Chain A
Amino acid sequence: MSGETLSPPRRAGIRALDRTVPRTGRRGPRGRTAVRTVVGIVLAAYAAVSVYPFLWMVSAAFKTNKEVQEGGHLLPHDPTLRTFADTWNKLDFFDYFLNSVKVTVLTTVLVVVVYSAASYAFSVLAFPGKKWLYRLFLVLLFVPGVVTLLPIVLLESKLDILGTHWGLILPFVNGSAPLAILLLTNAFSSVPGELREAARMDGAGELRIFSRIYLPLARPAVITIALLTAIPTWNEYQLTRISLNDPHTYTLPIALQAMQSQSVVQYNSLMAAALIMVVPVIVLFLCAQRYFVNGLMGAVKG
């Protein structure tokens, strides 16, 4: 790994640091321990608050429905795997899983490809109208979502993609535009311009500079936007339910919602189903983690 370059902000930062922060005069070891302890306690407390509802969800999946509704005890009184087994069967997981994966993967890949390209142009290339186009995409962040479902369906019917997976993917991708562009343009802008100049001297074209320099260097941002696209797409219900009619095309949230709208909801089952659905997301996050760590390691090494 070779992340040893200092980007301009980093350099600026260090210069500022040299001016403002005397390197001497650190706190004594005792004070340091005290601060560490306090910080540790705060971190642990917030971790507990963060994870508590999730743990509740996990424990609920092992309780009886009655116990779920009765109380806040995290440990199930009489843990049972039955709920899980039953729910697994009810969920038809594998029928829907592949559809969910297809929609999520295609959406995420398209978001990364389409908007990192656009962001490269917005942050690096000069062309007339750039500023206005960039602003247009930012403004889209605030477009009200409340009455967009109906026109999307009508439009797709005209385009003849209603009820297909592309009918989900294309609006999902388009909907991710503002955030993706905002984040990636930011990230590309902090890549030092000299890198591009040097590569051009070496005869590299824009495509090569983009894919070989900018994308790898902005990897944490790319991973972040992939996560922030994949997770909501994985869970999307509204448009999915409204536009799909053929059970062969259904995704997992439709099965989950069906369990949620029983007249008497079996909350233990519901939580088990939600848990089954969230496992792939967690796997995805843990995989993405490694790239975060790697990126960081590179910086540390440098």
Chain B
Amino acid sequence: MWTFKQSHVAALRAAAEKFTAETGTKVNIQAVTPDDAFLTKVQAAARTNDLPDVLEVHANGDDLAFGGAGLLEDLSKDVDQKWLAQYLPQVLTDGTVTPDVYKASLTEGSKTQGVQLGQRFSVPLTVGTQGVVYMNKSRAAKAGVTRAPATWEEFIDALDKVTKAYPDNGGVTVGVKQPSTALEWLMQPMAFGMLGKQKFEALFGPDTAQGWSSPNGQKVLNTYNEVTPYWMPGTQSKGIDEADLAFAQGKASFDIGGTYTLAFLAENGYDADNLMTFPVPPPKDAAIPGLQLSPFSLTGLSITRTSDKKDEALRWLKFLSRDDVAADFGKQALDVPPNDLDKKQSEALGPVLNSMEAAFGSGKNSYNAGYTAYRPSLYDPGKVGAVLAQFTPLKSRSAESTGTQMSSMLKSYWAEQNK
């Protein structure tokens, strides 16, 4: 089995040992990092028939692309109701070809072309959300902020108070060196809450009249711009880890991340008791006032078509999906498992993972960042995010020119797709 996550290797090996003890089947775990090496290795192995039996994949990404290209086994018949019943309801369709995915796969140049409706190419291994604000609790308290902001206005107000009290290190950070982070972790959840699902998705649609230069788009951008005075200096040249580190070291008092950020902060010596976390809040007059963040699968497990040990591989996947195994795996790998754990098992995850799990929302009012079918297939969040970064924190574009530029990029992505 190959994984692209070095941090999963030890936990997978531990699980493999237990698996061997139970079934006698040995599992050999290999990490291939970074992602470009992993992808090229899979490409090469697919052509030379050297693929392993099992792959860990980016869920709703690699799995569907590999599956469409015929590399993966369709698991839809093997993964039955009993198997699925173990998972959180929000992630049940992750790794499957839903009507949205199927429709997208039919466009020219789609990365998932070749998939068939109803197929399943992976089962979830880890889940998470993005759009979580981490606030330095003691500083906030000193500045007079004692409860988690519930609206965007309160959030901005909290930023203002804390930066007034701590002019040197009161600001907010996010890894803008990967420009998609500010876009997807901060602006999008806020925009989703502000506009509601339909109007939010229209921002990315082919109709520019409802896009970023429309009143809706401009309203989102101008609201988002309120954060500009509070960025930590130099946040535009920080990567994701560096931004989290800066927060852990006290150089910033707010950090935008995902559920996975907590483990990173804890590992780097940040006292988890000194944290107040809350989802990026929508404005007062939002379409969805009590916005929650829905978890989605981050990584999944797939079986390759060329595997000659399909039964063993399936048993391995099933083994990993068991509540107790998944909880152990999560605890060791510091990642949240996709399982719908009961209270006792959740507590077994330890306080850090447990509190992340508790932050998951569900239902219509929650924002699922893992759902991207409304975007054109060539959409590149890094490029769009770079334009947004020019708006803020760089202040080299106005809201108007940012909206126009983002709209025109989306228009060209759609044009590429509909050619």
Contact = CB atoms under 8 A, between A and B. Distances in A.
A–B direct contact (CB < 8 Å): yes
Contacts of B30: 245
Interface in B11-47: 30-34, 37, 40-41, 43-44, 47
A245 B50 contact: yes
Interface string A165-193: 00000000000000000000000000000
A261 B50 contact: no
A242 B40 contact: yes
Interface in B136-169: none
A263 to B, nearest CB: 4
B334 interface: yes
B264 interface: yes
Contacts of A227: none
28 contacts: A65-B268, A66-B268, A66-B269, A149-B44, A150-B40, A153-B40, A153-B44, A153-B48, A154-B44, A154-B47, A157-B44, A157-B48, A237-B37, A238-B40, A241-B32, A241-B37, A245-B30, A245-B50, A257-B33, A258-B6, A261-B31, A261-B34, A262-B6, A262-B7, A264-B7, A264-B263, A264-B268, A265-B241
B375 to A, nearest CB: 26
Contacts of A262: 6-7
Contacts of B41: 241-242
A150 B43 CA distance: 7
Contacts of B43: 150
A264 B269 contact: no
Given A66-B269, A242-B41, A264 B264 contact: yes
Interface in A12-27: none
A228 B191 CA distance: 53
A86 to B, nearest CB: 15
Contacts of A241: 32, 37, 41
A187 to B, nearest CB: 36
Contacts of B285: none
Given A149-B44, A157-B47, A263-B264, 6 more contacts: A69-B245, A153-B48, A241-B41, A258-B31, A264-B267, A265-B241
Given A241-B41, A261-B33, A154 B48 contact: yes
Interface string A231-270: 0000001100111010000000000011011111100000
Interface string A58-92: 00000001100110000000000000000000000
Nearest to B267: A264
Nearest to A69: B245
Interface in A251-302: 257-258, 260-265
B274 interface: no
B249 interface: yes
B5 interface: yes
Nearest to B335: A263
A70 B33 contact: no
A230 interface: no
Interface string B326-370: 000000001000000000000000000000000000000000000
Contacts of A237: 37
A263 B126 CA distance: 14
Contacts of A264: 7, 263-264, 267-268, 334
User: What secondary structure prevails in chain B residues at the interface with A?
Assistant: helix
A127 to B, nearest CB: 39
Interface of A: 65-66, 69-70, 149-150, 153-154, 157, 162, 237-238, 241-243, 245, 257-258, 260-265
A242 B43 CA distance: 10
A237 B48 CA distance: 21
B33 A258 contact: yes
Max count, chain B CB within 10 A of own CB: residue among A66, A242, A245, A262: A242
A238 B36 CA distance: 9
A260 to B, nearest CB: 8
Nearest to B35: A261
A258 B5 CA distance: 10
B294 to A, nearest CB: 23
A150 to B, nearest CB: 6
Interface in B301-324: none
Contacts of B268: 65-66, 69, 264
Given A238-B37, A258-B33, A263 B6 contact: yes
B257 to A, nearest CB: 13
Given A69-B245, A263-B7, A149 B33 contact: no
Contact of B249 (A69, A153, A242): A69
A149 B44 CA distance: 9
A149 B40 contact: yes
A273 to B, nearest CB: 14
